[in-house]
Amino acid sequence: MRADGLARVAEIVAARGALVLSGAGISTESGIPDYRGPSSAGRERRPITYQEFVRSEDARRRYWARSFAGWPFMEARRPNAGHRAVAALEAAGLVDGVVTQNVDGLHQRAGSRTVVELHGSLREVRCLRCGAVEARAALQERLAALNPGFVEAAPRYAPDGDADVPDDVVASFRVAPCAVCGGVLKPQVVFFGENVPPATYEAARDMVDAARSLVVVGSSLAVRSGYRFVLQAKGAGKPVAVLNDGPTRADGDADVKVEGRLGELLPDLADLLL
């Protein structure tokens, strides 16, 4: 059954012009946990919302303390075989690009060139007052200087790049302001409760319009911001393939669905085509 499904996906991709829509499931084999996949079972953790971050200084302190603890872990993540397979298919001219729901930058590190990051990137921060952008690595250095006695957190990490930190450590954590105007810094990611920037959505929508097919990899599509591209492709009569380790919102929409680990499925797919 799996071999037949992959063969059908290969037929779709072989026609060229495929667009990959990726989610957290492609990065779990790089060590990054997800929110909704099999590895998330039993994990009780609610990510910060945009409204909390903007309104509460305490919420921002908690976020940045956890982000400071989690950044070295995220920086150490590397692309896995699934990311590399997607990049190889793009290099061969079979895949036109990637729309990703991930904020880890691993597609680019693997060599993918045309990538729209639907939910932004952890690699930059932006000032909410003046709009100045700073590299996250540079901010890490400033946070380290402000918090020389910081105690490392327990190794429990989240998809958005932060980690659990004891409350007493959070309470004493010093947050770095914007280096330009002293305003509030926010990571360049779309928080829960925040809208995808219109320009980003339009870029992704245009890529779906231009594609001949859509291949969903590693996403449950529980979030509407991803699932609407499946509906867009289906509405235009384009084939949709889904590869995921578990059920997805698009299982009933897909022309073909293959279940399994992306680090195995995607290299196998590339082997059929390259």
Set 83, 84, 119, 126: catalytic member: 119
Same domain, 166 and 257: no
The pLDDT of residue 40 is: 44
Q: CA 6 to CA 269: how far, in whole Å?
A: 6
The pLDDT of residue 6 is: 97
Same domain, 98 and 222: yes
Bridge partners, residue 37, by sequence: none
Per-residue pLDDT for the chain (274 aa), expressed as one digit of tens each?
A: 688 999 999 999 999 999 999 999 999 999 998 755 444 444 455 678 999 999 999 999 999 999 998 899 899 999 999 999 999 999 999 999 999 999 999 999 999 999 999 999 999 999 999 999 999 999 999 999 999 988 665 455 555 555 667 777 789 999 999 999 999 999 999 999 999 999 999 999 999 999 999 999 999 999 888 999 999 999 999 999 999 999 999 999 999 999 999 999 999 999 999 9
Are 218 and 101 within 8 A, CB to CB?
no
Q: Among 156, 189, 222, which residue terminates a domain?
A: 189
Same domain, 27 and 149: no
Same domain, 89 and 12: yes
Same domain, 168 and 156: yes
The total of structural domains in the chain comes to: 2
How many CB atoms sit inside 10 A of residue 24's CB?
Answer: 23
Same domain, 134 and 169: yes
Same domain, 90 and 152: no
Domain holding 213: CATH number?
A: 3.40.50.1220
The pLDDT of residue 225 is: 84
Residue ranges making up the domain that contains 93: 1-32+79-119+195-274
Same domain, 266 and 245: yes
Closest CA to 94 of 85, 103, 102: 85
Instruction: Tell me if residue 83 is catalytic.
Output: no
Same domain, 204 and 166: no
Same domain, 49 and 172: yes
The pLDDT of residue 43 is: 43
Per-residue pLDDT tens digits for 204-239: 999 999 999 999 999 999 988 899 999 999 999 999
Same domain, 15 and 109: yes
Closest CA to 218 of 266, 162, 271: 266
Bridge partners, residue 214, by sequence: 19, 240
| pLDDT > 90 fraction of the chain, expressed in percent and rounded | 81
The pLDDT of residue 93 is: 98
